[in-house]
Structure 1
Amino acid sequence: MSSTPIIDYVPEDEWPTVSTMLDGFGQQTLEASSSLSGTSLVLIDENGSSTEYIFETGTTLRWRSDATHGAPTGTATYKAIEARQGIFIVDFVVGDGVDARNTTFVYDTSTGVATSGLSTFFKGEDKVRGNTEFIHATTPDSTNAPAHRRSSKLVGKRIYYRYSDTEAYEHIYLTPGAFTWHCIRGGEQGLADTERCMVFDVAEDLYLFFWTEKVMAVEAVLLVDLGEERSIGRMFGWDDSSHEPVILPFNSRLSILNTTNYPQDHNKH
């Protein structure tokens, strides 16, 4: 009779570095799209500031902006993935070392609505930490559709994510602002924590999901697609051993294990 080995609690000072996950997560299975090549995209945020992205090729963009966040102009190598028809997730990194910043935005061509996550690093009291700012914007010819709103639709779900043949995690969504992750198989096997998160509605069964970690400097922005049963996006982390950023493309197949519905007995004694 076989038994499951006991994996005990792992103290924080024994956790591996962020780069431990690099080899196990593999490549994104959705190919990069060149559909934006030769086009430009103007996004006007909630404060009226404008940013124009000029997609010069399928991999190179430049921008100009009068917004207070980020640089007013610049160029970058980008990746655009069409997660669903007409819905793109665009990702690029500029800068080096602790000054690097990772921009990821989700753009719905049918509505003209976009949400950008801008992740940066800062030096905390004892180590480098991460921060992500979200900016909601629309194109000048948008359909007046609402911005991607905060969502509670993942709350109660327990989802199993297969990132590769060697890496598997589960997520348990506790509230609109907190979830628990647990590494079932892979470089972080046995590790688990509860983190701050945010979820935004993008389309039916499609969510922009963000989380930030307490132990490691990790800022993750991705699309969770319950309809297509996959997630895709990126993790932007700081590796304390090499003193440099780690950019990890996220790609998984997912299964909903269960959904918790609490009994309505709070008024009973």
Structure 2
Amino acid sequence: MTKPSDWITVGALADGFAPEAFILPNLADLNGKTFTLNFANGWQIEHRFDTETVSWTAADGHSNGTAAYRATSVRPGLYLVDFIKREGAQAWSVSLVLDTASAAFTAVIGRMPSQEQTREGLYSRALAGKNLTSVEVDFLHGSLDRPWQEGQCPHAPTSELTGLRNMYRYSPSEVYEHIYLNDQFYSWQCLKGVEQGLCDTDRCHYYKIADQLYLFVWREKIIPTLGVVLIDMQQHRSDGKIFGYAGSSFDELSNFPVASYCQVLNQTEYPDA
């Protein structure tokens, strides 16, 4: 149990979540499959999967590589694929929501701040009109195995979670509460586990993927952290990952799976909203 001031690294958080974690199995469904991702911005990138790695090649030849991946599925025909893309000293978190039923996808591309960026105080960032978090993220949409046309990706920003208070049990020892405040921020607290007693309000993003299925992404400002999860309100399950620096030396990344059984505690409705 922590004291209120005991913030821990993402690596230490991974160690706390690991014992008896309720993570979903890494699927073999994608082995031997190839998807061509046609982005709305004009990119065209082929992704080829085997049992352990994904390889990608851009149509313009400017981007190619191979990485180990994790793939899970909370609904039939829908995959969450996660891997780290590295180019030299640079590394990006890549999470793909592959929606084969709609022949569409959403890509979440995240990057950790440099050591220099983390030294910039919250007050300075606020006065400069910047996000308080220095974790960067981009959301890109497109179509699977067909040319992109406007409107082909049904994944869209949503306010359907606003006002929801949800509890997430990631393992027998790790339990958190989320309160979805508005379309830009949520509050969290650790009810039980290695961060017990800690809480904060952080920048977040919501996308509706299907009926009662949401992509939720958050960016923490105290310890640089990117979280990417799918929340299935029908099955009361969530699955995704947490990404950040493993320790305080900025020379190693931690990218670990998280999945939970979730429970609605209450729903707040604002009469004047």
**Shorter-normalised TM range:** 0.7 to 0.9
Partner of residue 258, structure 1: 266
Q: Does 2:171 align with 1:164?
A: yes
Asked if 2 retains the 8 angstrom alpha-carbon contact of 1:28 and 1:251, the reply is: yes
- The 1:110/1:23 distance shift into structure 2, 3 A limit, reads same
Partner of residue 22, structure 1: 14
- The 1:101/1:127 distance shift into structure 2, 3 A limit, reads farther
| Structure 1 residue identity aligned to 2:241 | R
Within a 5 Å distance, the mapping from 1:1-269 to structure 2 comes to 10-11=4-5, 14-26=6-18, 27-55=21-49, 57-66=50-59, 72-95=63-86, 99-123=90-114, 124-127=116-119, 129-141=134-146, 145-243=152-250, 244-264=252-272
| Structure 1 residue identity aligned to 2:73 | E
Long gaps (5+) in structure 2 = 121-133
> 2 CA distance for matches of 1:140 and 1:75?
20
Asked if 2 retains the 8 angstrom alpha-carbon contact of 1:219 and 1:237, the reply is: yes
> 2 CA distance for matches of 1:65 and 1:232?
28
- Structure possessing the higher radius of gyration over alpha carbons: 1
> 2 CA distance for matches of 1:115 and 1:135?
6
> 2 CA distance for matches of 1:175 and 1:237?
25
How far did 1:196 drift? 0.6
Q: Which moved more, 1:131-140 or 1:203-212?
A: 131-140
- The 1:29/1:235 distance shift into structure 2, 3 A limit, reads closer
SS of the residue 1:95 aligns to: strand
How far did 1:228 drift? 0.8
> 2 CA distance for matches of 1:18 and 1:96?
22
| Structure 1 residue identity aligned to 2:136 | N
SS of the residue 1:161 aligns to: strand
> 2 CA distance for matches of 1:263 and 1:246?
42
Asked if 2 retains the 8 angstrom alpha-carbon contact of 1:155 and 1:175, the reply is: yes
> 1 CA distance for matches of 2:239 and 2:60?
27
Asked if 1 retains the 8 angstrom alpha-carbon contact of 2:100 and 2:144, the reply is: no
Q: Which moved more, 1:208-217 or 1:122-131?
A: 122-131
> CA deviation digits over 1:123-149, x for unaligned, max 9?
144449531111111124389644310
How far did 1:66 drift? 4.8
Q: Percent identity?
A: 34
State the number of aligned residues: 253
How far did 1:29 drift? 3.3
User: What value does the CA root-mean-square deviation take over the aligned residues?
Assistant: 2.5
Higher relative contact order (CA 8 A, sep 6+): 2
> 1 CA distance for matches of 2:87 and 2:245?
12
Partner of residue 4, structure 1: none
| Structure 2 residue identity aligned to 1:59 | E
How far did 1:49 drift? 1.2
SS of the residue 1:122 aligns to: coil
